[in-house]
Amino acid sequence: MANNPGAKKAIRKIARRTEVNTARRSRVRTYLRKFQDALNAGDSALAKTAFIEAQSELMRAVSKGVVHKNTGARKVSRLAAQLKKIAAA
C-alpha cells in the first residue's frame, strides 16, 4: 500500500487514466464492430463510411497513446484489405 503522498497521487492519476483509456478502447472496438457488421451485410457503401469512421477512431487512439502506432497501422491496413475485397466482389 502507498504510504507517501506522491505514491497516493500516482495511484489516483493511474486510476483516472485507466478509466479514460478503457473508454477510448471501447469506442474503437465499437467502430470496428460497425465496420464488420457492414461487411457482413455486404453493403459496400455502408462499409466504406464505416471504414472511414473506424480508421479515424483508430488513429485518434494512436495519437492518445491507447494503441501503439504500428498496431493502429496494421489494423487499418487489414480493414482496407477487407474493404477492397468486398468492393471487388
Q: Which fold has domain 5-88?
A: Methane Monooxygenase Hydroxylase; Chain G, domain 1 (1.20.58)
Cell numbers found for residue 27: 469506442
pLDDT in tens, 62-86: 999 999 999 999 999 999 999 999 9
pTM: 0.85
Percentage with pLDDT > 70 across the chain: 100
Of 34, 23, 26, 22, the residue nearest 79 (C-alpha): 34
The answer, yes or no, to whether residue 89 has pLDDT greater than 80, is no
The Cα–Cα gap between 65 and 48 comes to: 26
Mark residue 42 as left, alpha or beta (left: phi above 0; alpha: psi -120 to 50; beta: remaining).
left
What band does 2 get if pLDDT is binned at 50, 70 and 90?
A: confident
pLDDT at 9: 94
